[in-house]
């Protein structure tokens, strides 16, 4: 069976839908499957697709809070809303209700009768027969969870908990039996109990399959980052080859299918894209028992089916309307019937609109409207390969403009690449607005609900970034999303085992902070410096490993009561941590003692790591000048093997060199900023006068004729 899924059908429109809120019932008597979906207005509904139209089985009243989990048990539906879990029959009659005693709204749910797991931001609660058996408190935010059921021993059931601190925790009977380190914050989990395999997706876009043996695990395969987070995954044999494919829904609107064509490594066989993020994905027999379809929900609440059914575009007014099966039979409503239904629906909408306009006109004569109902979401995620941040902004209605304002200096690298976006980078007058260091606006000339903006931060500087979204609605209003950039913003947390190999034989500088402070206090101070530090700490002593995604330097942090030890081969990282910790301790009026152990060889070591990037930018202008001449030679000479390796490389990389040359000045300035900060920190710890040495060093950088040897010489002069 083909897995091309050429036809895209809009099935239904609801309000926004969260992950894990779309499910398919088991195959029914007519060999098709009904759909159940819960939305952010608190409405849960079930429907089937019959003869080309949506036939609703039931629809609950709006609960006023978003549905945060839908689970099916046989033909019954369980859903979590706020602090309550409800169960309804296939006809929508409520037969179960659990008013939990959790102190926050539920963010996720898993059910296996008689067990139920309910998760909040940091706590996972376990219920059996509606009685709480205990809870597990996670040290960092819980993003998702997936139960693993032991058919031989129900008492051995466990839950895999995906957390923001790049770990999957294995929880049994509310105790953590072990953990799996991951490539990023875990956003999606999938368990195959028969094969004892756990699949996880991360916010950075990785998808990994782990083979489980008890609490031990080993990686079976890995799909490298696609630069967009994974919202949901599922296993389904969509092409009928007898093997399950893995279907992935991503935050950028991509729907991907990977098959195992050769061996155990996945190969992508299909990719479809939407103009908004996909929150849920399911596969099954929705429209006809002869075909397998994929159903997705989007952020704005659209339910879209991808199918192999073909729309009959040559239908006459008396012919039927719908989809062609493999025998070329047309299934569905007649064209006349469908037009009639659409006209009735349109008339009903016009009546509703007229009533709303009358009510609005009565109100607007006395009251000024200041609010419109629409949903937005935004994320600010570090791209560890490129060492910049991806700011994604999305709305469930079309956007008119997005404005970015920042308290710190930023480099605007790119937007989504859409030609329908007009970008204005506004020069800030610091005399009039001292709090703003960066302002940029993005105006949409066409209908658009989503934009991705690429920004690079400067380490050592910290503050808030604000994203204002203005929709194409009246009255004109805006929603704001705020993100806090930390001083070591380009550092990424590392797995402990990988980190120990990474830091071997590196010349490390050492910062020691001691005093009468608790572990929680110093832990919160370090959390102000770098992303990836959990909000809570439960051990008596903790160790964190980081690496710079741009400079490839390392950072090791060891914390315990009364002492913090920070080691790094980059003296700038040591300086930044010292500044932040000193300020935090001063604000709390806590006395601390600070000592340093500086390794002089670390300066040259870091310069050797950084200089290849500098050298590439310095040589870029000369290489670009040669491209036209080399292409002329290539046109005149059939064989260019006589060219040197350097000239051949320029020809092969010509397009990339021309693209990089557009940003050369900006990138070289960014690198020079890093070198100047490193030079100043070297002067600081050597206790020298910056006014004496800094002017000549800046002059050297501005000349753009420096070498690694000349820079190293500048660092060794004192």
d(Cα 640, Cα 372) in Å, to the nearest integer? 64
- The Cα 532–Cα 166 span in angstroms is 8
Confidence label for 3 from pLDDT (cuts 50, 70 and 90): low
- Domain boundary assignment for the chain: 376-485, 491-599, 602-715
Half-sphere exposure of 219 (CA within 13 A, CB side): 12
Handedness of CA 208, 213, 215, 218 (dihedral sign): negative
The pLDDT of residue 235 is 93
Q: Please, which pLDDT band fits residue 232 given cuts at 50, 70 and 90?
A: very high
Please state the rounded mean pLDDT for residues 578-597.
94
Region 51-73 average pLDDT? 89
Question: Average pLDDT in the 274-279 region?
Answer: 91
Does residue 485 register a pLDDT over 90? yes
Summary mean pLDDT of the chain: 86
| 175 within 8 A of 161, measured Cβ to Cβ | no
Task: Please identify, in words, the CATH class of the domain defined by 376-485.
Answer: mainly beta
- Better pLDDT: 639 or 490: 490
Average pLDDT over residues 403-422: 79
Determine the average pLDDT of the residues in 530-558. 91
Average pLDDT of 690-707? 87
Give the range among 183-187, 422-426, 456-460 with minimum mean pLDDT: 422-426
Say if residue 237's pLDDT is above 60. Answer: yes
Question: What is the pLDDT at residue 320?
Answer: 30
Q: Is the pLDDT of residue 682 over 60?
A: yes
Residue 312 has pLDDT above 70, yes or no: no
Average pLDDT over residues 35-46: 94
Q: DSSP for 55-112? A: EEEEEPPP-SS-EEEEEEETTEEEEEETTEEEEE-TTS-EEEEEE---SS---EEEEE
Query: What residues contact 559, with CB distance under 8 A and at least 6 apart?
Result: 519, 522, 523, 526, 537, 541, 542, 543, 544, 565
The answer to whether the beta carbons of residues 313 and 294 sit under 8 Å apart is no
* 609-633 pLDDT, tens digit each: 999 999 888 888 788 878 888 878 8
CA dihedral 564, 570, 572, 577 (to 10 degrees): -20
Predicted pLDDT at 282 = 95
Write down the pLDDT at residue 521: 93
Confidence of residue 339 (pLDDT cuts 50, 70, 90): confident
- CATH number of the 491-599 domain: 3.30.310.200
Mean pLDDT value across residues 574-602: 94
Q: What is the pLDDT of residue 323?
A: 40
Mean pLDDT in residue range 41-62? 89
Q: Please tell me whether the peptide bond between 160 and the residue prior to it is cis, using omega within 30 degrees of 0.
A: no
pLDDT at residue number 102? 86
320 vs 367: which has the higher pLDDT: 367
Is 14 a residue whose pLDDT tops 60? yes
152-202 pLDDT, tens per residue? 665 677 899 999 988 999 998 788 888 888 988 999 999 988 888 999 999
Task: State the average pLDDT over residues 703-707.
Answer: 85
User: What pLDDT was estimated at residue 310?
Assistant: 57
Q: Is the pLDDT of residue 371 over 70?
A: no
The whole-number pLDDT of residue 311 equals: 47
> How much is the pLDDT for 88?
94
Q: What is the mean pLDDT of residues 501-511?
A: 93
Cβ atoms 26, 42 nearer than 8 A: no
Q: What is the pLDDT of residues 653-678, one digit of tens each?
A: 888 888 778 777 888 888 999 999 99
pLDDT score recorded for residue 289: 85
């Amino acid at each position: 069976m083909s897995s091309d899924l050429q036809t895209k059908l809009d099935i239904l429109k609801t309000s926004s839908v969260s992950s894990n809120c779309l499910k398919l019932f088991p195959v029914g008597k007519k060999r098709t499957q009904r759909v159940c979906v819960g939305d952010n207005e608190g409405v849960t509904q079930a429907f089937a697709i019959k003869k080309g139209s949506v036939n609703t089985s039931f629809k609950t009243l709006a609960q006023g809070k978003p549905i945060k989990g839908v689970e099916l048990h046989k033909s019954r539906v369980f859903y979590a809303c706020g602090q309550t879990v409800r169960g309804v029959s296939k006809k929508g009659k409520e037969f179960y209700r659990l008013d939990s005693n959790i102190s926050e709204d539920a963010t996720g749910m898993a059910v296996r009768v008689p067990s139920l797991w309910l998760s909040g931001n940091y706590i996972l609660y376990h219920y059996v027969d509606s009685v709480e058996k205990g809870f597990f408190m996670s040290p960092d935010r819980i993003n998702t969870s997936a139960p693993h059921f032991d058919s031989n021993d129900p008492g051995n059931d466990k839950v895999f908990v995906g957390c923001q601190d790049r770990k999957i925790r294995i929880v049994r009977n509310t105790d953590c039996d072990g953990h799996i380190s991951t490539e990023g914050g875990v956003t999606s989990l999938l368990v195959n109990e028969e094969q004892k395999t756990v699949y996880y997706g991360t916010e950075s876009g990785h998808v990994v399959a782990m083979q489980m043996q008890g609490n031990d695990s080993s990686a079976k395969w890995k799909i490298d980052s696609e630069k967009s987070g994974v919202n949901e995954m599922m296993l389904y044999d969509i092409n009928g080859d007898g093997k399950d494919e893995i279907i992935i829904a991503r935050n950028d609107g991509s729907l991907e299918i990977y098959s195992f064509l050769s061996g155990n490594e996945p190969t992508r066989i299909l990719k479809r894209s939407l103009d908004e993020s996909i929150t849920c994905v399911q596969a099954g027999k929705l429209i006809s028992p002869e075909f397998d379809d994929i159903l997705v929900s989007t952020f704005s609440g659209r339910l879209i089916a991808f199918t192999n059914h073909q729309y009959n575009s040559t239908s006459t007014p008396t012919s039927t309307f719908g989809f062609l099966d493999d025998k070329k039979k047309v299934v569905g409503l007649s064209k006349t019937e469908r037009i009639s239904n659409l006209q009735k629906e349109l008339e009903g909408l016009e009546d509703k609109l007229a009533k709303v306009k009358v009510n609005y006109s009565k109100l607007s004569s006395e009251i000024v409207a200041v609010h419109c109902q629409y949903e937005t979401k935004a994320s600010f995620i570090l791209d560890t390969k490129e060492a910049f941040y991806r700011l994604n902004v999305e709305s469930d209605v079309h956007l008119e403009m997005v404005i970015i304002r920042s308290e710190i200096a930023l480099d605007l690298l790119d937007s989504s690449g859409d030609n329908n976006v007009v970008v204005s980078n506004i020069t800030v007058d610091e005399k009039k607005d001292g709090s703003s260091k960066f302002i940029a606006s993005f105006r949409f000339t066409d209908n658009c609900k989503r934009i991705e903006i690429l920004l690079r931060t400067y380490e050592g500087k910290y503050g808030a970034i604000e994203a204002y979204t203005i929709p194409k609605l009246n009255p004109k209003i805006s929603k704001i999303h705020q993100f806090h950039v930390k001083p070591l913003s380009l550092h990424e947390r590392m797995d402990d085992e990988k980190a120990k190999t990474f830091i071997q034989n590196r010349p490390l500088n050492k910062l020691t902070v001691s005093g009468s402070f608790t572990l929680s206090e110093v832990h919160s101070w370090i959390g102000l410096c770098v992303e990836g530090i959990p909000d809570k700490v439960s051990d008596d002593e903790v160790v964190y490993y980081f690496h710079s995604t741009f400079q490839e330097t390392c950072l090791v942090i060891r914390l315990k009561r009364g002492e913090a030890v920070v080691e790094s081969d980059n003296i700038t990282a040591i300086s930044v941590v010292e500044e932040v910790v000193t300020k935090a301790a001063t604000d709390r009026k806590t006395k601390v003692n600070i000592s340093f152990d500086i390794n002089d060889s670390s300066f040259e070591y870091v310069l050797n790591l950084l200089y290849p990037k500098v050298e590439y930018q310095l040589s870029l202008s000369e290489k670009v000048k040669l491209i036209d001449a080399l292409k002329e030679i290539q046109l005149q000479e059939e064989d260019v093997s006589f060219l040197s390796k350097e000239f051949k490389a320029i020809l092969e990389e010509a397009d990339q060199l021309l693209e990089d040359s557009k940003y050369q000045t900006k990138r070289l300035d960014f690198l020079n900023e890093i070198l100047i900060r490193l030079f100043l920190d070297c002067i600081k710890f050597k206790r020298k006068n910056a006014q004496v040495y800094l002017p000549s060093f800046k002059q050297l950088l501005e000349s753009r004729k420096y070498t690694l040897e000349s820079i190293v010489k500048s660092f060794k002069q004192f």
